[in-house]
Amino acid sequence: MIVADIDEAAADETAESIQGRAYAYRLDVSDPGAWETFATEVRDEHGVPDVLVNNAGILIAGTFFGHDPADWERIVGVNLMGVVHGCRTIGAQMVERGSGQIVNVASAAAFVPLRSAPAYATTKAAVLMLSECLRIEFTGSGVGVSAICPTVIRTNIARHAHVAGVDTDTESRFVEAGARLQRYSWPGPDKVARAVTRAARHDWAIVPVNPDAWLTYFVSRLSPGAVRSLARAASFDVMLRGAMRLFKA
């Protein structure tokens, strides 16, 4: 198994925690040149991967006008272009060999507009559409493409989030409250890992993970207007201020 992360120490720690042999690499997923080097090294040292999981992602929250161009460039570079580069480099090796499975981790945010995180939702919707496009293009090549779409999972993404358009103190309080709320709620990453495994094994196209992800997925298809109404009622400020009251942040 190959583990890649921009934080080399985190990659090493993850590789050490995996039963069996695992190798850690440093990789900035937003850098196309780094992907070219990484894909070549992995192929030459370990062979063409059987499964590629594009999982790297960051969260930038806040209003649309709070996001500046740098926020957009950063989140698009990681959440979308990181997936594009992975599919382009590793995916090309798979297609040439004639087998493999690409699993892109999108989000249930791909199904519903988020007034609290427009850039995040936009990148995840783009990952879902990219996965759908490649799934069609790769038909008959022996390479499948799946999109995994969870809602909130107990990870550190909220802890490392950026809140655009607010002062440092407000951002710190919101991030801390969001991280606490995420830490004490929702399933852990093992649930997503099982979804990834099933998607890779059965070549499933779209895999909502949590029950609320499935609900959002079906409602978005059956009644888009209802989803938009729900999104209008949702608010980043309301959610996190409630979390701060709950945890006395």
What's the maximum distance between 2 C-alpha atoms anywhere in the chain? 55
The residues, any chain, with a CB within 8 Å of residue 136's CB and separated by 6 or more, are none
Among residues 246, 186, 183, the alpha carbon closest in space to that of 212 is found at 186
Residues identified as active-site: 120
The encoded tokens of residue 140 equal 């008959």
Structure tokens at 79: 């959440």
Closest CA to 58 of 43, 42, 71: 71
* Alpha helix ranges (H) inside the chain: 8-17, 32-46, 69-75, 81-97, 118-137, 168-183, 189-202, 211-222, 224-233, 236-247
